[in-house]
Each structure stands twice: as structure tokens, then as C-alpha cells.
Structure 1
Amino acid sequence: MDVNKEEILEELRSVFLNKTFDALLPPLVYAVSNSIFGLLPAVILAVTTALFNFTRRLIKKENWKYSLGGLVGVIFASSLAYLSNNASSYFIPALTSSSLFLLAALITLLVGKPLAAWASHLSRGWPLAWFWRDDVKPAYREVTIFWAIYFGLRLTIQLNLFFSEAVLNLAWVNIILGWPAISVVLIISYIYGVWRLNNLGGPGVDEFKKEKEPPWDGQKRGF
């Protein structure tokens, strides 16, 4: 299945537009500041950085909702670190996120309703009945297995560094295995998913909605 570069970039922009900078900068500032100045200055600088990102988007009239969520997240993570007097505690939300995604992937695989299908349904609004077809669901199941492997590996590395209290290394791992790695995971998922749907020979979403009879053209774009 031929998936062109413009199509992939458009799919990624719909998910990550304006998010990467806001997500990466505060934890990096926190980790570097902690190694140089100590915990309290690191907490102050991380919150200040997130507040700056939020304010900048408000002034430029950009989408500020993600920055607001990031600000709240940084305040919460910084509070955990400060109250526990443990710099590694800043990354507990990241550990929790990895655990929840892994758990969600495994549970949905066990019940036969793969996470990738739910994610696509929620983001695209396609009918759930289409995802559960025998000639559609295997693609979403296989992508969900891929996601489970990724989150399992990420959680293993994060836990090892967390218990070692390697704060700076943990920050770099969270950055690298955060949006950059997720972008790669989604690109692979999208390319494989579209190819697999066509390989399975089921109807495309529009064909399913219109109750067309086979032979079908299949899902040519979107996963």
C-alpha cells in the first residue's frame, strides 16, 4: 500500500500540532536545573517555563488548551517532587501514564476490543461496528500489540532509572521516548495499518456506511 509523505505529515499534524515544544521543555529545564541548583530552584524554573509557554500562546492567540494542561501537569509533578523531597518524584506522572497505556492495551486485547480501534473511533468518529468486523479488527489488534510492546519497554526503562534516582537520564529518556518516539510509533502504525486493512480485503468506512456489497475498494486513507 502506497502511503505518501504528505498524507503521513497531515495525520501527525492533526495529533501533534503545537504540542511538542510545550511537552519537552519543562522536564528538561527541571532536570538540568536540579543537577546544577538543587530541587527547589528546579521546581520554580520548571513551573515558570510551563507558565511562559501558556502565556506565550495566549498572547499569540494560538491554541492554548494543551499548554494549560501542560502547566497543570508540571505544577502537579513539581509538587510531588517538592513534597516528597525527591527529585525523581517529578516523573511519577510519566510512569503512571506508561503504566495506564500498557494496561489499557493489554486489557483491550484480552477482551477483543483493541485500543487502537478505540483511539481511531474517538478521534475520527467512525462507527464502532466497522472496527469489530473480522476483516478489519486484525489490523487494529496487531497495531495494539505493537503499542503494548512500546509502552512495556518504555515503562521498564523508566522504572529502572526512577529507582536509580538518575534524574537527568530519566528526563532525557522521557523526552526521547515521549513525543519523538510516539511520532515514530504512530507513523509505523499508520503505514502498517492502512496496508493491513487493504490486505484483509474488508470494506472501507464509507463503503461500510453505504452498505455496499463486495468487491470493495477497501480503506484507502486513514486508520
Structure 2
Amino acid sequence: MIEPSTSDRADGDADDDAGAPSILEQMGGVSGLIYSTVPIVAFVPVNAIWGLRAAIIAALAVAVAIFCVRLIRREPLNPAISGLIGVAICVFIAHRVGDAKGYFLFGIWTTLAYAIVFVVSIVVRWPLIGVAWNLISGDGMAWRKHRRTLYAYDIATAFWALVFFARYLTQSELYDDGHTGWLAVARIGMGWPLTAVAVLATVYLVRRAGRSEDELEARAQTDDEPSAQL
């Protein structure tokens, strides 16, 4: 039986990586991260000038316009739908609270929930970044058997948890103080820029763990060759 060459396996792995959507693509890509800030940019100034009702209408109008643009450009549908639903929830809470700062309440509590879930996933030895990465790539869950790989996913997941905790602590403090304008600045400043950093850190850790895993497998095969010859 002829074994595939190393170059053939490498080419196959490259093809799989090229075909599998990245974490950033799953979130709607760079454009999706930027789109998420546009309703906020519309909401806060309109609220300051014309009041809460006009701000709600403006945010919804912008969200619907972005949704239509994404449909026309045939971008991934899930981020477009989730973005529209997210804005609808935010403006509904702002309406119920009767204050513009209520627009940010859903995002504040969501980031806390994410942080807790990510920490719990590390504690139970199923780091979410590892689960999500390998579900997207279709590589299964064999990575949990390799200590270095599992440790790398732990670090990546912990990094995301820190990002979420930082967002929650900063924005909840601004919310309690009633600084709606600074809430918008914090949401945008701690939004896609920190997400981009987290994605880059994740890619680096995962690829480094993958190389360590390949080295261990190659070493095991080398150790087995003398035994096979005997």
C-alpha cells in the first residue's frame, strides 16, 4: 500500500484550511465587525440632538440598510440576521428603560455571560476556542489527547475571556455613571480592534500547537521504524 507523500499531505491540509471558514469569517469578516459599530454611531448623536425616539428609529433604519446591503453583496446571511436582531433587542431595551444608555445594557450582560462560559469551558477541559476551531475545520476532537494542543487552546480561550471581562467591567462602570457617549466610545474601541487582536492571538497559538503536534507524531513514527524493521 502506497503511503501519501509528505508534500501530498501538506497540500491536502492546505486545501482543507483554504476551504474551511476562518473564525473572522464566521463573525462576518472585517466588514461585519465594522458594520456592527454603524448603528451605534447613528444612535448616540441622534439621541443627543433629537431625543431617544428619533435615535431608536435611526439605529433601526441603519441596521435595516446594512442588512439590505449585505444581502445585495451576497455576504454570509447569519451575521447579517444576527446583527439586525441585536440592534432590535438593544433599541427595545432602551425604549423600555427610557434612557439611551439602555441601548448598551444587552451587550454589557452578554459580554459577562461570554466571559463566564469561556472560563467554565477551561475548567471542564473543553476550551471553547478549541471546540469552535476544530468544528469549523472539521478536524474532530482528537486534539484533546495532546497536552500541548489542549494547553494552547486553554490560553487562547483565557485570552478571549479576559477580553470579555475587560469589556464588561469598563462598560458596566460607564453605564452606572450614565456616560452614554463614553459607552459608545468604549463599545467601538473595545469592539472590533480587540476582536482582531484576539483572533490573531488565537491563530498564532493554534498554529504553534499544531506544529508541536506534528513534531510529536513524526517523532513517534521515527521511534516505531526500528521496531518494524526488527
Match of 1:78? 91
Q: Report the Cα distance in structure 2 between the residues aligned to 1:62 and 1:138, rounded to whole angstroms.
A: 34
Match of 1:14? 25
Structure 1 residues 215 and 112, CA, compared in 2 at 3 Å: closer, same or farther? farther
Is the CA contact 1:139–1:197 (under 8 Å) kept in the aligned structure 2?
Answer: no
Q: Report the Cα distance in structure 2 between the residues aligned to 1:13 and 1:105, rounded to whole angstroms.
A: 18
Is the CA contact 2:23–2:133 (under 8 Å) kept in the aligned structure 1?
Answer: no
Structure 1 residues 14 and 68, CA, compared in 2 at 3 Å: closer, same or farther? closer
Is the CA contact 1:28–1:172 (under 8 Å) kept in the aligned structure 2?
Answer: no
| Aligned-partner residue type, residue 38 of structure 2 | L
Match of 2:213? 202
Q: Report the Cα distance in structure 1 between the residues aligned to 2:145 and 2:118, rounded to whole angstroms.
A: 16
Q: Report the Cα distance in structure 2 between the residues aligned to 1:72 and 1:57, rounded to whole angstroms.
A: 14
Match of 2:193? 180
Q: Report the Cα distance in structure 1 between the residues aligned to 2:209 and 2:143, rounded to whole angstroms.
A: 15
The alpha-carbon deviation at position 108 of structure 1 amounts to 1.0
Q: Report the Cα distance in structure 2 between the residues aligned to 1:129 and 1:192, rounded to whole angstroms.
A: 17
Match of 2:121? 108
The alpha-carbon deviation at position 14 of structure 1 amounts to 2.8
Is the CA contact 1:136–1:202 (under 8 Å) kept in the aligned structure 2?
Answer: yes
Q: Report the Cα distance in structure 1 between the residues aligned to 2:78 and 2:129, rounded to whole angstroms.
A: 24
Is the CA contact 1:50–1:67 (under 8 Å) kept in the aligned structure 2?
Answer: no
Question: Which of the residues 167, 180, 188 maps onto 2:180?
Answer: 167
Q: Report the Cα distance in structure 2 between the residues aligned to 1:168 and 1:57, rounded to whole angstroms.
A: 28
Q: Report the Cα distance in structure 2 between the residues aligned to 1:59 and 1:47, rounded to whole angstroms.
A: 18
Q: Report the Cα distance in structure 1 between the residues aligned to 2:190 and 2:222, rounded to whole angstroms.
A: 42
Match of 1:219? none
Is the deviation greater in 65-74 or in 35-44? 65-74
Question: Which of the residues 126, 134, 149 maps onto 1:121?
Answer: 134
Is the CA contact 2:39–2:87 (under 8 Å) kept in the aligned structure 1?
Answer: yes
Structure 1 residues 21 and 148, CA, compared in 2 at 3 Å: closer, same or farther? closer
The alpha-carbon deviation at position 116 of structure 1 amounts to 1.5
The alpha-carbon deviation at position 51 of structure 1 amounts to 0.8
- The total of aligned residue pairs comes to 202
* Root-mean-square deviation over aligned CA pairs: 2.7
Match of 1:90? 103
Structure 1 residues 157 and 203, CA, compared in 2 at 3 Å: closer, same or farther? same
Q: Report the Cα distance in structure 2 between the residues aligned to 1:174 and 1:75, rounded to whole angstroms.
A: 17
> Structure 1 unaligned runs (5+)?
1-6, 217-223
Is the CA contact 2:22–2:136 (under 8 Å) kept in the aligned structure 1?
Answer: no
Match of 2:46? 33
Question: Which of the residues 40, 44, 62 maps onto 2:57?
Answer: 44
TM-score of the pair, normalised by structure 2: 0.77
| Aligned-partner residue type, residue 202 of structure 1 | E
Instruction: Using the aligned pairs only, state the percent identity.
Output: 23
Structure 1 residues 21 and 81, CA, compared in 2 at 3 Å: closer, same or farther? same
Q: Report the Cα distance in structure 2 between the residues aligned to 1:69 and 1:212, rounded to whole angstroms.
A: 46
The alpha-carbon deviation at position 65 of structure 1 amounts to 3.6
What does residue range 140-159 of structure 1 map to in structure 2 within 5 Å?
Answer: 140-159=153-172
Which of structures 1 and 2 has the bigger CA Rg? 2
TM-score of the pair, normalised by structure 1: 0.80
Is the CA contact 1:161–1:167 (under 8 Å) kept in the aligned structure 2?
Answer: yes
